[in-house]
Structure 1
Amino acid sequence: MSVAMQSGTPALLDDVVEAVASWQQEGAPVQVHPGDLGWNWGFGSEALAREVRLWRRGGTILAAGMVDAKDGLIRMAIAPSVDSDEAFARQLLADLADPGRGVLPADGGVVEARFGAAFRDLLHRSGWVADEPWTPLRRELTDPVEDCGLRIEVLDADHVDERILQDRVAVGRASFPNSTFSSQRWRAMAASSAYRRARCLVAYDEDGAAVAATTVWSAGPGRPGLIEPLGAHPDHRGRGHGRAITLAAVAALQQMGSSSATVCTPSSNVAGVAAYISAGFEKLSAVTDFRRLA
């Protein structure tokens, strides 16, 4: 049965989210998560749909990708059922390698594929080389989570406090250079199907200042949850707030039924890796993207 690539449409996004959620498996490599789709949904369903590519066989979605045209990158999620499927891997690579398919540029391109043994092996054998290293981290959610020591306020799709929303936006913009996060983007994100299993957390210190924030994404009970993004306000750093908001995120995912909390950060982010480890995360082996030489 043939494999067909399809560009995303707003009407398809809910199906893509559910497919990607179903592929999240405990103990498997960290790959594109419903939370990655949900975060990008903040730019609008039309914009997200333009980024999405999916591959079907017999009507079933077996792979999905998010294209970043500016960086010549596609981030992949692959169904466990085709992990070792060489025929599927060959068609996937043929679509990515052909610039006429409109996925990657002719003069290079980067593939983030952390799952899919046959596909990763084929990339290696086809001359794609290792790119920037990333460090995945994981914390099991079987044991109780220690109190984070800060007051935590929650924003979910059904409970929106305008003051807390403004604090969420302010901390997000302060935490990440060049951030364009806004209340409008949050509302677009919160209206998405991905956010039905997500929530934003804002941490406040003893003086009532918003000092850190994060968004946590469940893929459903018994599946790994994702922390994306997480940041501490630069005016309040060095006081353990990064660790505190991480613990709050872990506790929220545990409450939502996730089997573990996962995150993946550039290996060069030494301070970030250390903060997650201090919050009980296990540092896993570094992974790299695949770059095609121009």
Structure 2
Amino acid sequence: MAITLGVPGVDELGETAGVLREWQREGAPVQLHPGDLGWFRRFGAEATAAAVRTWSRDGRVLALGLLDGPGLLRLAVAPGARRDVELAGRLVEDLTGPERGVLPEGEACVETPGDALVRDLLAERGWLPDEPWTPLRRDLAGPVEDPGVRVEVVGPEGARVRAEVQRASFEGSTFTEERWRAMAAGSPYAEARCLVARDERDEAVAAVTVWSAGPGRPGLLEPMGVRPDHRGRGHGRAITLAAAAALRELGSSSAVVCTPSSNVGAVATYRSAGFRRLPESLDLRRP
């Protein structure tokens, strides 16, 4: 049967996250994670559903994309379909034709798994390498070191503090207590935790959200931040260790994170917390 392009409804978001959960495999290239959908859910269920695209054949989803910002599609492909010629051809058609409604006209980027055929075909069409990203992974077979600071799991009563740390850590962040609640209402958050680290004066200095994809599968850190006036004191390493420990408790086989390669400080922080640097990945940009 032919490949069909679809947009899930709000009531299908849980099923969509479940598809991504099944695609998370050890040893596979890092790609879109159910936690990415969970983090996007801060904008609400309707906005999340509107940002998702699926490509299916005979009722089975083979590729799934998240429009994660203006002109950026983050694309995941089923493990057994990454070299599927028919799927790759249809993806190229939908990504290169503005009339398809997947990507807007003008500047656009696509993030794909490094071994996906669609990546090769887009390059043949003249798409160019864009911003390099560094994925990092920490195996969770063994125990995780104590972070050395007090770390608390955030519930609804701590949402305001969690949001404050996020806004302080990321310039331009619009995260609020209300958006935390919208995120927490999504199905991916059932396998997630928000953590806040406090210093010796009991001030909230760093925060992270971790997302499990289920026992025996890689879990995700997204996002992690430290208040600017508290950087350089080991708080980033501490909250990253706490994140890895939380994912291990949730049954994750490993912890993964991806950061712009230009953010050398973040890369160094993750490596100091036992994360191993993986080969760089590059988005593709439409010329």
TM-score, length-scaled by structure 1: 0.95
Aligned position for 1:25? 25
Residue 75 (structure 1) aligns with: 74
**Residue pairs, 1:76-225, within 5 angstroms:** 76-155=75-154, 160-162=155-157, 164-225=158-219
Q: Spell out the pairing of 1:40-51 with structure 2 (5 A cutoff).
A: 40-51=40-51
1:203-257 CA distance string (max 9 Å, x none): 1112111111000000111111000000111222221000000000000011111
Gaps (5+ residues) in structure 2? none
Amino acid at match of 2:164: A
Q: Give CA deviations for 1:2-39 in whole Å, capped at 9, x if unaligned.
A: 10001232122111100011101111111111111001
Tell me the alpha carbon deviations over residues 111-156 of structure 1, each in whole angstroms, 9 at most, x when there is no partner.
110255222222222221111101111111112110000111112x
Deviates more, 1:249-258 or 1:110-119: 110-119
8 A Cα contact 1:5 1:54, kept in partner:
yes
Name 2:11's counterpart in structure 1.
11
Quote the residue 1:39 is aligned against.
39
Given that 2:77 and 2:116 are in contact with CA atoms closer than 8 Å, whether structure 1 keeps it comes out as no
Give yes or no for contact 2:259–2:267 (8 Å, CA) kept in 1. Answer: yes
Measured in 1, the distance between the counterparts of 2:36 and 2:275 equals 20
Query: For residues 264 and 50 of structure 1, what CA distance do their matches in structure 2 show?
Result: 24
The change in CA–CA distance for 1:206 and 1:44 in structure 2 (over 3 A counts) is same
**What amino acid sits opposite 1:137 in the alignment?**
L
- Identity across matched positions, percent: 57
Alignment match, 1:61: 61
Contact 2:127/2:286, CA 8 A, preserved across alignment: yes
Q: What SS does the aligned partner of 1:119 have?
A: helix
Q: 8 Å contact 1:5–1:53 — kept in the other structure?
A: yes
Unaligned 5+ segments in structure 1 are none
The answer (yes or no) to whether the contact 1:82–1:116 under 8 Å persists in 2 is: no
Over 3 Å counting, the alpha-carbon distance change for 1:161 and 1:87 in structure 2 is: closer
**Which deviations, in whole Å up to 9, do the C-alpha atoms of 1:49-95 show, x marking residues without a partner?**
1111111111111111111462x111111111202211111011111
Runs of 4+ in 1 over 6 A off after TM superposition: none
Superposed CA RMSD: 1.2
Match of 1:256 in 2: 250
8 Å contact kept, 1:83–1:115: no
Whether 2:276 is the aligned partner of 1:247: answer: no
Count of aligned residue pairs for this structure pair: 287
Report the Cα distance in structure 1 between the residues aligned to 2:242 and 2:153, rounded to whole angstroms. Answer: 10
TM (norm. structure 2) is: 0.97
Aligned to 1:235: 229
Q: Which amino acid letter does the alignment assign opposite residue 117 of structure 2?
A: A
